Amino acid sequence: MKIAIVCYPTFGGSGVVATELGIALADRGHEVHFVTYKQPVRLELLNNNIHFHEVHVPEYPLFHYQPYELALSSKLVDTIKLHGIELLHVHYAIPHAYAGYMAKKMLQEEGIFIPMITTLHGTDITLVGKHPFYRSAVTFSINKSDVVTAVSEDLRKSTLELFDITQEIDVIPNFIDQRKYREGFTDCQRSLMAADHERIVTHISNFRKVKRIPDVISIFNGIQKKIPAKLVMVGEGPEKAAAEKQAKEYGIEDKVIFLGNSNEIDRILCFSDLFLLPSETESFGLAALEAMINKVAVISTNTGGIPEVNVQGETGYLSDVGDVNSMIAHSIRVLQDPEKLESYKNKAYTWAMTFDIQHILPLYESVYEKAYAQR
């Protein structure tokens, strides 16, 4: 099939999922066209099956806000016509489903029918989309999609609770591509981060409020009082400066390493023992799944879709949002006994394997067929 994918090209989970899905579809012989404002960060190689079309928004001083949706829907119309694209898959409802629907209607005027799949990723529903200023447009564009998917059962339920949805929502979870990890890194270069006797705790996110970064630092502070350890913080975002300050206030700044954004997540996870995800809400928690496939145990909150990923007492532990003491206790329990730690890590890996792209890609292909059949 010839498929156009619209996504955010950033380090955020929705962009990562969209990009990895596009790459996997291209490997399966589909022709994939990414349409977005910048080449997606994980899209390193373009090839015969992978194309990238940049959306340009001309700056015009009259506009207080430059009309990205307009430029995106025009670009979609042109790209779909030029390349004979058969199906449109938009990731993140705002504003992609809305722009996609406009493109679909414009094409219909010319006798071209293009089915649209909308994948909901979480913040487009639970944080931003439900805002009264957006709610009507989000409801409309979800209901006008030919197929809607959500990345967890929890997100499906929240969407049905928060909006007046007349559409069925299929759950297709986030995935990992275990082929990328099969060879593994024989040299994890652990010594770059910590001494032999120290454990390595990791957090990866975009450092937004929803990630509860102060809890990450507090949990680590509690851990390092009992167990020699380092904290590796990966990512950039609004809460980073405060986290650096907090580490200094606790007097642990020499134990907390801020790496910024990285394209080498697997190398970092390779030497990690424990992953912290104390989020306020999380529709799925792709970062936790990426940790697990790298044999890293997970300490998380029990919110949103996280319990569908992290299994209590098996792959790690889950606590109530904000219960830092419980997360410290769980972390210490996991880290202090090398044999137990190994068992958590192995179970994390085994469970993560069930989310391999090989199992998930056919689910997307089947919703594509369902949408295509509705033409």
* Binding residues for ligand GMT restricted to 65-84, rule: CB under 6 A: none
Q: Spell out the SS3 assignment of the chain.
A: CEEEEECCCCCCHHHHHHHHHHHHHHHCCCEEEEEECCCCCCCCCCECCEEEEECCCCCCCCCCCCCHHHHHHHHHHHHHHHHCCCEEEEECCCCHHHHHHHHHHHHHHCCCCCCEEEEECCHHHHCCCCCHHHHHHHHHHHHCCCEEEECCHHHHHHHHHHCCCCCCEEECCCCECCHHHHCCCCCCCHHHCCCCCCEEEEEECCCCHHHCHHHHHHHHHHHHHHCCEEEEEECCCCCHHHHHHHHHHCCCHHHEEEEECCCCHHHHHHCCCEEEECCCCCCCCHHHHHHHHCCCEEEEECCCCHHHCCCECCCEEEECCCCHHHHHHHHHHHHHCHHHHHHHHHHHHHHHHCCEHHHHHHHHHHHHHHHHHCC
Q: Which of 4, 9, 14, 139 binds ligand GMT (CB under 6 A)?
A: 14
Binding status of residue 174 toward ligand GMT by CB under 6 A:
yes
Q: How far is CA 197 from CA 190, 194, 255, 263, 272, in A?
A: 11, 8, 13, 27, 13
Which is closer to ligand GMT, CB of 107 or CB of 155? Answer: 155
Q: Which stretch binds ligand GMT (CB under 6 A): 39-47, 218-226, 277-285, 338-346?
A: 277-285
Q: Which of 4, 6, 17, 274 binds ligand GMT (CB under 6 A)?
A: 17
Binding status of residue 206 toward ligand GMT by CB under 6 A:
yes
Q: Which of 9, 13, 22, 40 binds ligand GMT (CB under 6 A)?
A: 13
Contacts of 193 (CB under 8 A, 6+ apart): 200, 230, 232, 257, 271
From the centroid of its chain, how far is CA 17?
Answer: 6
Pairing of strands 169-171, 147-150: parallel
Binding status of residue 282 toward ligand GMT by CB under 6 A:
yes
Which is closer to ligand GMT, CB of 12 or CB of 222? Answer: 12
Which is closer to ligand GMT, CB of 103 or CB of 289? Answer: 289
We find the least distance from the C-beta atom of residue 160 to ligand GMT, in angstroms, to be: 16
Binding status of residue 123 toward ligand GMT by CB under 6 A:
yes
The torsion angles phi and psi of 27, rounded to 5 degrees, stand at -60, -30
* Binding residues for ligand GMT restricted to 234-273, rule: CB under 6 A: none
Binding status of residue 297 toward ligand GMT by CB under 6 A:
no
Q: Which stretch binds ligand GMT (CB under 6 A): 22-30, 99-107, 249-257, 283-291?
A: 283-291
Pairing of strands 274-277, 256-260: unpaired
Binding status of residue 364 toward ligand GMT by CB under 6 A:
no
Rounded to whole angstroms, the Cα distance separating 114 from 366 reads 16
* Binding residues for ligand GMT restricted to 209-228, rule: CB under 6 A: 210
Which is closer to ligand GMT, CB of 77 or CB of 213? Answer: 213
Q: Which stretch binds ligand GMT (CB under 6 A): 52-60, 71-79, 179-187, 206-214?
A: 206-214
Q: Which of 95, 100, 122, 235 binds ligand GMT (CB under 6 A)?
A: 122
Q: How many residues bind ligand GMT (CB under 6 A)?
A: 20
Q: Which stretch binds ligand GMT (CB under 6 A): 13-21, 37-45, 67-75, 217-225?
A: 13-21
Which is closer to ligand GMT, CB of 19 or CB of 246? Answer: 19
Binding status of residue 42 toward ligand GMT by CB under 6 A:
no
Q: Which stretch binds ligand GMT (CB under 6 A): 107-115, 281-289, 315-323, 357-365?
A: 281-289
Q: Which stretch binds ligand GMT (CB under 6 A): 180-188, 238-246, 280-288, 310-318?
A: 280-288
Q: Which stretch binds ligand GMT (CB under 6 A): 133-141, 204-212, 290-298, 310-318?
A: 204-212
Q: Which of 175, 220, 284, 317 binds ligand GMT (CB under 6 A)?
A: 284
Residues forming contacts to ligand GMT in the complex (CB under 6 A) are 12-15, 17, 92, 121-123, 151, 174, 206, 208, 210, 281-286
